[in-house]
Amino acid sequence: MKDRIEGKAYVLGDSIDTDQIIPAAHLVYSMTEPDERRMYGRYACSGVPNDQAGLPEGGKPMTDPEAWTSEYTVVIAGSNFGCGSSREHAPFALQVAGIEAVVATSYARIFYRNAVDGGFVVPFESRERLVEEIRTGDDIIIDVPAGTLTHVASGTTHLLNPLGDVADILRAGNVFEYARQAGFIK
């Protein structure tokens, strides 16, 4: 996990579920085979309805159909992000697409745990609803140690909830590497 995450935001609505993040039709690809793994990035968020994709402008896909990754670094979402089935493929697909962090008002617990345990994306909770202020394509900067998100265009800085103990897991890379480093497993 980096101390500073910066880049373009991709804005989504409320209750984006794991089937929208990576539709079941695209779970046929290997997560370890390099040529197949990139397909997860290509199809990340391809199931999100147009009225919630690229909010508040709507209708903008995360990944160009001909591209293998997106131009975005951070997803800004509403409440209940990652609800639906228990699918580690969802945060994995976001990571392969180039997403480093998700900032949501709230998370479904299983998505949050999968994101942390696999070290796929950094899941921040925002203290305020950012989906109406930040637009898809806006530049943002997250200062991880300070727990802040700066919207470059407006110059406003927003507080994020502290990562707490999960920060150590994310710094280690994933829950198994954390357990090795902490001496819990060999």
CA distance 119 to 80: 20
CA distance 102 to 99: 8
pLDDT value for 15: 96
Q: How confident is the model at residue 63 (pLDDT cuts 50, 70, 90)?
A: confident
DSSP string computed for 99-126: --EEEES-B-HHHHHHHHHTT-SEEEEB
Is the pLDDT at 59 greater than 90? The verdict is no
pLDDT value for 51: 85
Return the CA Rg of the chain. Answer: 15
pLDDT value for 66: 75
Q: Domain limits of the chain? A: 4-181
pLDDT value for 50: 85
pLDDT tens, residue by residue, 134-164: 999 999 999 999 999 999 999 999 999 999 9
178 three-class SS: helix
**CATH superfamily to which 4-181 belongs:** Aconitase, domain 4 (3.20.19.10)
Task: Give pTM, 2 decimals.
Answer: 0.95
- Find the mean pLDDT for residues 78-101: 95
Pairing relationship of beta strands 122-125 and 101-104 according to DSSP bridges:
parallel
Cα-Cα-Cα-Cα torsion 128, 95, 63, 85, nearest 10 degrees, comes to -70
- Find the mean pLDDT for residues 3-13: 96
pLDDT value for 92: 97
pLDDT value for 85: 86
- Find the mean pLDDT for residues 163-175: 96
Q: How confident is the model at residue 69 (pLDDT cuts 50, 70, 90)?
A: confident
pLDDT tens, residue by residue, 15-55: 999 999 999 999 999 999 988 999 999 999 999 998 888 88
